[in-house]
Amino acid sequence: MLTIHDARLPEPIIQTLRLSGQCIVFFTNNITYQAIAGHPDIFFCQTGNTLIVAPNAPVEYLKILKKNAIPIIKGNTAVGETLAQATAYNAVITDKYIIHNRKYTDAAILAHQKNKEFIHVEQAFCRCSLLSLKNNHFLTSDAGIAKTLTKHGLFCLCVSSFDIILPPYMHGCIGGCMGIYDNKVFITGSLTHHRDGNLIKNLLTSLSYEIIELYDGKLYDGGGLFFLT
């Protein structure tokens, strides 16, 4: 298993992830603003085991992906500091849907996933704010996303964005604290430190997920955990 994660995750999280396989300890300089400079979900859009990658993602990370035979599709939008540049790859892709603000979705995502239904949401930082679960269930910290998905007949639990660390901001987003691999939900913190932790735990256990809390601390928004094989 190969994991892409923000280099600034708390050290206990990084040490635990290394026990599960190879890690790409991700960070960039002078591309976008510091808070999201190491977030995988800003530079990569994951669909299955394929990554749609920003053209200005650092070459050293792409070499590791190619060495591990991870399929890569080059995107069109260079990541930068504007909203359009920072969110082009921040879409959620499921077996049936593309969920994102369509004004900002990179053209390569639309071309590669053209047979899927597009659900437009106002939140451009969609993957930051949303985790896709099995059986058309979702977890979000954005009320607008929850409202839209519910209108489409999907189940979406909306939880607080507080109790989530994202320096230098007051709080982060729930999607950036999690990743899924092999029916396990990996969490960058402990649900005991989140005010809606029991609601999240009940949802995940009802779907028969194993919950892996990577350290005993507040949830840390690192732009998600991307697991690849």
* pLDDT tens digits along 29-72: 999 999 999 999 999 999 999 999 999 999 999 999 999 999 99
d(CA 191, CA 205): 13
Q: pTM of this prediction?
A: 0.96
- Highest CATH level, class, for 2-228: alpha beta
Distance CA 142, CA 62 (A): 31
- Quick one: pLDDT at residue 45? 99
Instruction: Supply the pLDDT for residue 163.
Output: 95
> What is the average pLDDT value for the chain, to the nearest integer?
98
Eight-state DSSP code of residue 79: P
Low-confidence ranges of the chain (pLDDT < 50): none
pLDDT of 15-25, one tens digit each?
A: 999 998 999 99
Instruction: Please give the pLDDT value at position 20.
Output: 87
Long-range contacts of 103-110 (CB under 8 A, 24+ apart): 106/45, 106/52, 106/75, 106/76, 106/77, 107/75, 107/76, 107/77, 108/52, 108/73, 108/74, 108/75, 108/76, 109/45, 109/52, 109/75
Domain ranges of the chain: 2-228
